[in-house]
Chain A
Amino acid sequence: MNWIQFPVIALISTIFWVTGAIALGFENKGPIFKNLGIVLTMAGIAVFGTFLAMLWIALDRPPMRTLGETRLWYTFFIATIGFITYLRWKYFLFHLLCVLFALLFLFLNYIHPEVHEKALMPALQSPWFAPHVIVYILSYSLLGGSCLIALLGIYFIYKEKSPEKYLDLADNLVYMGFALLTLGLLFGALWAKEAWGHYWTWDPKETWAFLTWLTYLLYMHYRHYHPNRYKTHLWVLSLAFVVLLICWFGINYLPSAQNSIHVYGG
Chain B
Amino acid sequence: MNLKNSHENLETSTKRDLWSHPWGYTESFVIAAELLILGFILEFVTGGKGIAPISMPYNFYILISFTGILIALRVFYSHNSVVKWLSGVPAAISSITAFALITMLMGFIPQSENNSPGFLSLIGLTHLKSSWPILLIQFYLLSSLGLVSLKRVYPFKGKNIGFLLNHLGLWLTLVAALFGSGDLKRLTINLLEDGKPNNIAISQNTGAYKLPFELKLLNFHIDEYVPRIVLVNANTGKFLLEKGEAAIPVELGKTYKLKKWSVTIDKYLEDAILTDTILSEKLINGSFPAVFVTAINTVDGRELKGWLGTGSFAYDPRFINLENDIILALTMPEVKKYRSDVVVTRDNEIVDTVSIEVNKPYNISGWKVYQISYDQNKGKWSTLSVLEVVSDPWLKIVFIGIFMMFGGSAYLFWIGRKKIN
Contacts and interface: CB of A to CB of B under 8 A. Distances in A.
A211 B420 contact: no
B413 A180 contact: yes
B390 interface: yes
30 contacts: A4-B244, A4-B245, A115-B241, A115-B244, A115-B246, A120-B336, A122-B336, A122-B337, A126-B359, A172-B416, A172-B418, A175-B412, A176-B412, A176-B413, A179-B410, A183-B406, A194-B359, A197-B186, A198-B184, A200-B177, A202-B106, A211-B103, A214-B99, A215-B100, A218-B93, A221-B89, A221-B96, A225-B89, A251-B107, A254-B108
Contact of A218 (B100, B108, B109): B100
Given A117-B246, A197-B390, A211-B103, 13 more contacts: A3-B244, A121-B334, A121-B335, A122-B357, A172-B416, A175-B417, A176-B412, A183-B406, A195-B359, A208-B107, A218-B93, A256-B107, A256-B110
Chain B interface size range = 35 or more
Contacts of B360: 194
A204 interface: yes
Chain A residues touching B, range: 35 or more
Given A4-B245, A117-B246, A119-B334, A175 B413 contact: yes
Contact of A6 (B244, B336, B392): B244
Nearest to A214: B100
B97 interface: yes
A50 interface: no
Which of B104, B129, B225, B338: most chain A Cβ within 10 A? B104
Nearest first, the 4 closest Cβ-Cβ pairs linking A and B are: A113-B244, A179-B413, A122-B358, A179-B412
B306 interface: no
Interface string B237-258: 0000101111101000000000
A113 B336 contact: no
Contacts of B107: 204, 207-208, 211, 246, 251, 254, 256
Interface of B: 89, 92-93, 96-97, 99-100, 103-104, 106-111, 129, 177, 184, 186, 225, 241, 243-247, 249, 334-338, 357-361, 368, 370, 372, 388, 390, 392, 395, 398-399, 402, 405-406, 408-410, 412-413, 416-418, 420-421
B244 A211 contact: no
Contacts, number: 139
Contacts of A113: 243-244
A15 to B, nearest CB: 21
Contacts of A6: 244
B359 A214 contact: no
Interface in A93-116: 113-116
Contact of A199 (B108, B246, B358, B398): B398
Most buried by B among A120, A186, A197: A197
B93 to A, nearest CB: 6
B9 to A, nearest CB: 32
A123 B106 contact: no
